[in-house]
């Protein structure tokens, strides 16, 4: 039985070429071959992050580094900017780690308001902020430059940004936005199998981390930085996934980063047009919509589960029936990764066929 092709927002479809790249003969991670592999990834990763800083490789899902970033940076109190399932959960994770935490909460489907962030930070006492650029549960793309500007106007407040479903679909500009930690998992827009997260850390955040006790080992930023100088990782990385990453980065270089962004804009617009044609409303606030996925409201008399099931059984395409507390009330379609106008058209034709 072959599995359906994934148009759900992560993990997404992995190409046969990527799998093929991952079947290279295994290498040890403390030798010259590995150092070369590690170094070869840096230019491509720096380009998609928009940074001159090293990009670290964590053998974990994104949550490992999302939790690790708190462990490295929080002194006393963290402010979590909450607008959906993943950003809301970051708040509960912070509390579960024993930190004092507060939040700016907006209705799901809305974007974070920079002025609400300013007002909250003016209350004082916060040393770290968590923020999700593309909230995958609602399809909202928050205004990263505007939020960054507010957060960075408060000295000594560290700005942690999750770009799990935005990295390589829109510019994220780590340096220009003065982000302190930026995190992404590779199973979303980078179209790799799960198990690896990539992240960058500012100089200020490195200095902060050095002053924080009890950072542990596995996610210790200081360990990552020390090893990066030797083109290496603190512990044994997911080497096969790194072979895959090397291949994907070479594809991004071939296509050109700007062309990749333009392709995502185009394929995302195709999904929006398809929805408009059938009267499906977009869940995310206008002007703040992810270019990686689309979250539609489920109309009242629409049998969403039958639609998703027939699309899967008849056409072999899997979309997603909503996440968190809007499961069932929404459905989501991804255009991330390797999808083109032609492959998105195949999905659209199949969805049209199911709708009849
Ligand atoms: C998928 C996702 C996560 C969680 O990633 P894991 O790899 O499952 O840890 C976090 N944030 C966002 C925005 C996501 O889309």
pLDDT tens-digit profile of 68-89?
Answer: 999 999 999 999 999 999 999 9
Q: Is 183 in the pocket of ligand 1 (CB under 6 A)?
A: no
Expressed in angstroms and rounded, the spacing between residue 95 Cα and the centre of ligand 1 is: 18
Q: How far apart are CA 258 and CA 260, in angstroms?
A: 5
pLDDT at 1: 58
Closest ligand 1 atom, residue 136 Cα:
15
Report yes or no: 106 and 112 within 8 Å, Cβ to Cβ.
yes
By DSSP bridging, strand 5-6 and strand 181-185 are unpaired
C-alpha angle 82-60-248 in degrees, rounded to nearest 5: 95
Q: Is 168 in the pocket of ligand 1 (CB under 6 A)?
A: no
pLDDT at 2: 83
Task: Find where tokens 């090397």 sit.
Answer: 246
DSSP 54: -
Q: Is 63 in the pocket of ligand 1 (CB under 6 A)?
A: yes
Expressed in angstroms and rounded, the spacing between residue 152 Cα and the centre of ligand 1 is: 24
pLDDT at 82: 98
User: CB-hemisphere CA count at 13 Å for 242?
Assistant: 27
In this structure, what token pair is assigned to residue 2? 């072959």
How many residues belong to the chain? 356
Closest ligand 1 atom, residue 9 Cα:
15
Would you tell me how many other CB atoms lie within 10 Å of the CB of residue 149?
A: 15
By DSSP bridging, strand 181-185 and strand 197-201 are antiparallel
Residue 273 CA from chain centroid, whole number: 24
Q: Is 191 in the pocket of ligand 1 (CB under 6 A)?
A: no
Expressed in angstroms and rounded, the spacing between residue 190 Cα and the centre of ligand 1 is: 13
Task: Find where tokens 């002053």 sit.
Answer: 211
Q: Is 165 in the pocket of ligand 1 (CB under 6 A)?
A: yes
In this structure, what token pair is assigned to residue 258? 């700007």
Q: How far apart are CA 152 and CA 160, in angstroms?
A: 11
Q: Is 50 in the pocket of ligand 1 (CB under 6 A)?
A: no
Expressed in angstroms and rounded, the spacing between residue 185 Cα and the centre of ligand 1 is: 7
Q: Is 88 in the pocket of ligand 1 (CB under 6 A)?
A: no
Q: How far apart are CA 289 and CA 10, in angstroms?
A: 17
Would you tell me how many other CB atoms lie within 10 Å of the CB of residue 107?
A: 9
With the C-alpha atoms ordered 264, 265, 270, 272, is the resulting torsion angle positive or negative? positive
Residues lower than pLDDT 70 in the chain: 1
By DSSP bridging, strand 317-318 and strand 100-105 are unpaired
Task: Find where tokens 């500009």 sit.
Answer: 173
In the chain, the N- to C-terminal Cα span, in Å, equals 27
Closest ligand 1 atom, residue 133 Cα:
13
Q: How far apart are CA 42 and CA 287, in angstroms?
A: 33
DSSP 52: S
pLDDT at 329: 96
Q: Residue 105, class by beta-carbon neighbours within 10 Å (0-12 exposed, 13-18 middle, 19+ buried)?
A: middle
Report yes or no: 188 and 9 within 8 Å, Cβ to Cβ.
yes
Would you tell me how many other CB atoms lie within 10 Å of the CB of residue 13?
A: 20
The structural domains of the chain, ordered by start, are 5-12+257-355 (3.90.1150.10), 16-253 (3.40.640.10)
Query: In 163-255, at which residue ranges do the beta strands (DSSP E only) sit?
Result: 181-185, 197-201
Closest ligand 1 atom, residue 163 Cα:
13
Identify the helix (H) or strand (E) that includes residue 131.
Answer: strand 128-132
Long-range interactions of 205-210: CB distance < 8 A, separation 24+: 205/72, 205/73, 205/158, 205/180, 205/181, 208/72, 208/73, 208/158, 208/180, 209/72, 209/73
* Closest C-alpha residue for ligand 1 atom 12: 164
> Which residues share a beta bridge with 102?
79
Q: Is 193 in the pocket of ligand 1 (CB under 6 A)?
A: no
Of 144, 147, 82, residue with least CA distance to 110: 82
Q: Ligand 1, residues 12, 62, 93, 198: which to mutate, most atoms within 8 A of Cβ?
A: 62
């Amino acid at each position: 039985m072959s599995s359906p092709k994934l148009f759900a927002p992560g993990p997404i479809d992995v190409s046969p070429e990527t799998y093929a790249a991952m079947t290279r003969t295994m290498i040890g991670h403390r030798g010259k071959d590995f150092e070369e592999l590690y170094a070869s990834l840096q230019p491509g990763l720096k380009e998609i992050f928009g940074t001159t800083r090293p990009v670290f490789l964590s053998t974990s899902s994104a949550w490992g580094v999302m939790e690790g970033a708190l462990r490295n940076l929080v002194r006393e109190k963290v402010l979590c900017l909450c607008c959906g399932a993943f950003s809301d959960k970051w708040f509960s994770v912070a509390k579960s780690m024993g930190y004092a935490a507060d939040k700016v909460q907006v209705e799901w489907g809305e974007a974070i308001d920079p002025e609400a962030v300013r007002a909250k930070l003016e209350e004082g006492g916060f040393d770290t902020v968590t923020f999700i650029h593309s909230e995958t549960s609602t399809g909202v793309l928050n205004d990263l430059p505007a939020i960054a500007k507010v957060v960075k106007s408060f000295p000594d407040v560290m700005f942690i940004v999750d770009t799990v479903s935005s990295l390589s679909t829109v510019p994220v500009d780590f340096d220009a936005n003065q982000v302190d930690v930026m995190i992404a998992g590779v199973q979303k827009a980078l179209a790799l199998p799960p198990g690896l997260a990539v992240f960058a850390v500012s100089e200020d955040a490195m200095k902060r981390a050095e002053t924080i006790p009890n950072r542990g080992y596995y996610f210790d930023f200081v360990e990552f930085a020390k090893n990066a100088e030797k083109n290496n990782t603190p512990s044994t990385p997911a080497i096969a996934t790194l072979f895959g990453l090397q291949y994907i980065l070479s594809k991004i270089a071939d296509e050109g980063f700007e062309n990749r962004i333009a392709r995502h804009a185009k394929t995302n617009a195709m999904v929006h047009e398809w929805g408009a044609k059938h009267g499906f409303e977009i869940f995310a606030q206008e002007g703040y919509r992810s270019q990686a996925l689309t979250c539609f409201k489920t109309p009242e008399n629409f049998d969403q589960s039958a639609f998703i099931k027939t699309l899967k059984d008849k056409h072999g395409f899997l979309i997603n029936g909503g996440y968190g507390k809007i499961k069932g009330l929404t459905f989501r379609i991804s255009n991330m990764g390797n999808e083109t106008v032609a492959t998105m058209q195949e999905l659209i034709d199949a969805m049209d066929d199911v709708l009849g």
